[in-house]
Amino acid sequence: MLTVFLQFLFSGLTVGAVYALVGIGFNIIYNATSIINLAQGEFVVIGGLLMWFFTESLKLPFLLSAVLTILSAGLIGLFMERLTINPLKSTDLLLMIMITIAVSIVLRGILMFNFGKDPYVYPPFTEGEPLSIYGAIIQQQTLWVIGITGLCIILLFLFFKKTIVGKAMLACAVNPTAAKLVGINVSRMVMLSFILSAIVGAIGGMAITPISLMEYDKGPMLAVKGFCAAIMGGLGSNRGAVIGGFIIGILESMTAGYIHSGLKDAVALVILLLILFFKPAGIFVSKTMLQLRKF
């Protein structure tokens, strides 16, 4: 019994870690701009497919490939902001969110033309047998995914709380006009947030591809689940997105395990709705914070 329970739990953790990373990506842009970037799932796909391109197609060493993937993803984030969000000079959030949808469609098209419709995979970061804990197995790559998620959270926490740039980004979200008045270059901060969130998404994609494979149209599903994670934890709270991601992942897995696998998506969404009924701002955001939100 314990073995089976642990196996469900590990499966949930594997899936949840992915949701969490996507959720964090949403938060970074949301925190700096109040925009919900619906192309976040495509950043994850870009990470996985580019990593495949550098390691398997160009046969570059692992670390170099990782660095190149991160740099390319950052560049794509930069171009996305400079070419679509920045020229708009609009403050209509809904319009900007629509633009992110358009970008996601364009990115998906480009990926399809360059990589085709087949799934891709490359070997896990460390080769070897899966670990066995009380008879339940956990793949080494899952530990990498969870570890990388943890590292991202810590680094982002330090960035937003301890560095001037991070604090400046937060200030832009709260009040762009005031931020401008105290001398913060708001436009540059917005750009930075897109770069950062593209990088976080791409890192997630790099880590999960050996487990789940990657194909050009995986983005929307990842975006929906990651968005649910962010909403459950409370938009803007990274700690919330991580816990939300793991809750959804584990709930899906437990539903599949103890009730029926056909119901797993439905149950996870019902729980999300229930949480939002009783705590509309999400688990980690207070009501007062909610009132300060623009979106």
Contact residues: other proteins, CB under 8 A: 4, 7-8, 10-12, 14-15, 18, 117-121, 123, 130, 137, 139, 208, 211-213, 215, 218, 221, 253, 256-257, 260-262, 265
- Yes or no: say if 240 and 284 are a contact pair by the CB < 8 Å rule: yes
Return the number of the residue (169 or 247) whose C-beta is nearest other proteins: 247
Return the number of the residue (87 or 262) whose C-beta is nearest other proteins: 262
Q: Name the minimum Å distance from CB 185 to other proteins.
A: 39
Q: Name the minimum Å distance from CB 203 to other proteins.
A: 16
Q: Name the minimum Å distance from CB 261 to other proteins.
A: 5
| Residues 6 or more apart whose Cβ sits within 8 Å of residue 39 | 80, 100, 101, 103, 104, 107, 219, 223
Amino acid letter at 104?
S
Q: Name the minimum Å distance from CB 122 to other proteins.
A: 10
Return the number of the residue (131 or 174) whose C-beta is nearest other proteins: 131
Return the number of the residue (10 or 284) whose C-beta is nearest other proteins: 10
Unique residue bearing structure tokens 């899906």? 252
Q: Name the minimum Å distance from CB 206 to other proteins.
A: 14
Q: Name the minimum Å distance from CB 121 to other proteins.
A: 5
Handedness of CA 10, 11, 17, 23 (dihedral sign): negative
Pairwise CA distance, residues 5 & 14, whole Å: 14
| Residues 6 or more apart whose Cβ sits within 8 Å of residue 193 | 28, 29, 31, 32, 33, 81, 169
Return the number of the residue (60 or 265) whose C-beta is nearest other proteins: 265
Return the number of the residue (100 or 212) whose C-beta is nearest other proteins: 212
